[in-house]
Amino acid sequence: AQRVTQPEKLLSVFKGAPVELKCNYSYSGSPELFWYVQYSRQRLQLLLRHISRESIKGFTADLNKGETSFHLKKPFAQEEDSAMYYCALSSASGGSYIPTFGRGTSLIVHP
Amino acid sequence: NAGVTQTPKFRVLKTGQSMTLLCAQDMNHEYMYWYRQDPGMGLRLIHYSVGEGTTAKGEVPDGYNVSRLKKQNFLLGLESAAPSQTSVYFCASSPYRQEYPEAFFGQGTRLTVV
């Protein structure tokens, strides 16, 4: 069974500080991993995915298969980064791709 | 494009009442999902569908039923609402691909059962 663990419910930092949101997963095959973000009163939207190796809004995430982790990082947090962040894993189940989400981490960036 | 649209946005039900949540997508996606979002629990999959006429149970299916009669619509039904079903419900859809199966979400339905 696949599982996504986000150990921190809440992460509180000051503007300009580095941010790291942790995500660990368990899956026996080759997963596809994503970070989704939900800003206040908005729908969830894709932030980035590991296969693209891209940086979005200053955020990056590296897949570490040895540690089964996909932590989200940003060197200098901004107030507009305050949101709920979900790590997600998508895997083939009988030929179907079903996303599994972690419990989410609420990031608060103080001025 | 409207993307994924959920109806209604808010609803208050009395215990024992029934209701149907409608999800519509205009992206011709094969996959559709219903999640519930609860504080501290994240997003939990209720039911999903991999195509028109097919549905399957997710992690927390009890108390819910679904139907996918048309490719663009995915309905979530509560036959006899309970206070434990108070939650925010999200519908999502994704295309069938071998790679990059990003999920597109609706705006959510906030349901309160009293």
Question: Which chain B residue's Cα is nearest to A2?
Answer: B59
Mean pLDDT of chain A: 90
Mutate to test the interface with B, among A43, A53, A103 (most CBs of B within 10 A): A43
Judge: B42–A49 Cβ closer than 8 Å, yes or no.
no
Asked whether the beta carbons of residue B103 and residue A6 sit closer than 8 angstroms, the reply is: no
Rounded Cα–Cα distance for residues B24 and B32 (Å): 9
Look up residue B105 and give its two tokens: 């979400």
Q: For residue A51, what pLDDT is reported?
A: 75
Three-class secondary structure of residue B108 per DSSP: coil
The residues in B 59-88 lying below 8 A from A, measured between CB atoms, are none
Contact list in B for residue A103 (CB cut-off 8 A) is 40-42
- Is the CB of B94 less than 8 angstroms away from the CB of A97? yes
- Test A44 with B90 for CB contact under 8 angstroms: yes
Q: With 0-12 CB in 10 A as exposed, 13-18 as middle and 19+ as buried, what is A87? A: buried
Q: Which residues of chain A have a CB within 8 Å of the CB of B35?
A: 101
Q: Which residues of B touch A42 (CB under 8 A)?
A: 107
Block residue for tokens 């006429």:
B53
From the number of C-beta atoms within 10 Å of its C-beta (0-12, 13-18, 19+), residue A47 rates as buried
Mean pLDDT to the nearest integer, B82-97: 93
The pLDDT value recorded for residue A96 is: 64
The beta-strand segments (E) located in chain B are 4-7, 10-13, 19-25, 31-38, 42-51, 54-57, 64-67, 73-78, 87-94, 104-105, 109-113
Look at B27 and A55; give whichever has higher pLDDT.
B27
Is residue A21 within 8 Å of A71, Cβ to Cβ? Answer: yes
The two structure tokens encoding residue A104:
């989410």
> Does residue A53 surpass a pLDDT of 80?
no
- Average pLDDT of every residue of chain B: 93
On whether the CB atoms of residues A85 and A104 are closer than 8 A, the answer is: yes
What percent of chain B is predicted at pLDDT more than 90?
Answer: 86
Instruction: Give the tens place of pLDDT for each residue, A9-34.
Output: 999 999 999 999 999 998 877 778 99
Q: Which residues of B9-43 are buried (b: 16+ CB within 10 A; e: fewer)?
A: eebebeeeeebebebbbeeebbbbbbbbbeeeebb
* Predicted local confidence at residue B60, as pLDDT: 95
pLDDT at B66 over 60: yes
Which range (A37-41, A105-109, B108-112) has the least confidence?
Answer: A37-41
Q: Which residues contact A96 (CB under 8 A, 6 or more apart)?
A: B31, B48, B50
Nearest to B66 by CA among B57, B51, B109, A98: B57
Model confidence pLDDT, tens digit, residues B2-28: 799 999 999 999 999 999 999 999 999
Q: CB atoms < 10 A from the CB of A7, how many? A: 11
Phi, psi of B37 (to 5 degrees): -120, 120
**How far away is chain A from the Cα of B78, in angstroms, using its nearest Cα?**
23
**pLDDT given at position A92:** 66
What pLDDT is recorded for position B100?
A: 60
Query: Model confidence over A58-102: pLDDT tens digits?
Result: 999 988 888 899 999 999 999 999 999 999 998 765 556 788 899
